[in-house]
């Protein structure tokens, strides 16, 4: 049987912290982490170079901190530390499956992660190591969506795969509006004009400026990451 041919050689996968929750109210469900790792391993075995940007909302979200009176910068730094905890869990899960992985943190934590050095990161990818980006871009007031767009451009990724809990981009929140329309494709400008909450405006604008496509899909559907990489028609493509 011929080997399946991926459409992309190098991708950046954006994962929310909530993807690691499982059935827990907060924290890291290690079985959920392992399930995601197994899905990613299928793509890795196709020879695709994979970088991941992980969020931290399962542990702490910066905007939640500001809602209870914290300074935004302090809250955002706490959120960055939460992503590093998620990165450690993912790296451990990858290594248990025999997949080499490196955590790259935008803030210095030498005991558990390497600093971001563009050429070193690209070398890791070219040598078959999965990259786990944590701590966003290391500065407050920027979301992990924006960090994903920036890192994807820096490493010359061909696409951002945005994993969510719904199967694409909708005209309104499909959890609240049963008449919400799902788009199979949509332009960056239309996402911005309609104020669609798929990624923040800074991330969308960056991708628009450099013509970096985004595919939004449902992570909860088994095999969806592999389908996205093979070019199957799933989710919503932002172009």
Angle at CA of residue 83, ends 33 and 38, nearest 5°: 20
Angle between the N-to-C axes of helices 30-44 and 72-96, in degrees from 0 to 180, rounded to the nearest 10: 70
Predicted confidence pLDDT, tens digits, the chain (239 residues): 557 899 999 999 999 999 999 999 999 999 999 999 999 999 999 999 999 999 999 998 766 666 678 899 999 999 999 999 999 999 999 999 999 999 999 999 999 999 999 999 999 999 999 999 999 999 999 999 999 999 999 999 999 999 999 999 999 988 889 899 999 999 999 999 999 989 999 999 999 999 999 999 999 999 999 999 999 999 999 99
Domains of the chain are 10-238 (3.40.1160.10)
Q: What is the pLDDT of residues 130-145, one digit of tens each?
A: 999 999 999 999 999 9
What's the CA gap between 212 and 225, in Å, rounded?
18
Average pLDDT, the chain: 95
Name 133's bridge partners. Answer: 53, 104
């Amino acid at each position: 049987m011929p080997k399946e041919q991926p459409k992309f050689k190098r991708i950046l996968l954006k994962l929310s912290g909530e993807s690691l929750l499982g059935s827990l109210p907060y924290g890291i469900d290690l079985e959920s982490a392992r399930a995601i790792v197994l899905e990613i391993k299928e793509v890795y075995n196709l020879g695709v170079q994979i970088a991941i940007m992980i969020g931290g909302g399962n542990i702490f979200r910066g905007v939640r901190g500001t809602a209870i009176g914290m300074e935004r910068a302090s809250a955002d730094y706490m959120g960055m530390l939460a992503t590093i905890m998620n990165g450690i869990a993912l790296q451990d899960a990858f290594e248990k499956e025999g997949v080499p992985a490196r955590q790259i943190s935008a803030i210095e934590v030498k005991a558990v992660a390497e600093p971001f050095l563009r050429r070193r990161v690209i070398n890791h990818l070219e040598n078959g190591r999965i990259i786990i980006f944590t701590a966003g871009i290391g500065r407050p007031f920027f979301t992990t969506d924006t960090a994903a767009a920036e890192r994807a451009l820096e490493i010359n990724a061909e696409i951002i795969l945005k994993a969510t809990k719904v199967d694409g981009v909708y005209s309104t929140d499909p959890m609240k509006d049963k008449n919400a329309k799902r788009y199979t494709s949509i332009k960056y400008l239309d996402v911005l004009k309609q104020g669609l909450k798929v990624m923040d405006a800074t991330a969308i604008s960056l991708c628009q400026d450099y013509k970096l496509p985004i595919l939004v899909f449902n992570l909860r559907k088994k095999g969806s990451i592999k389908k996205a990489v093979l070019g199957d028609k799933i989710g919503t493509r932002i172009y």
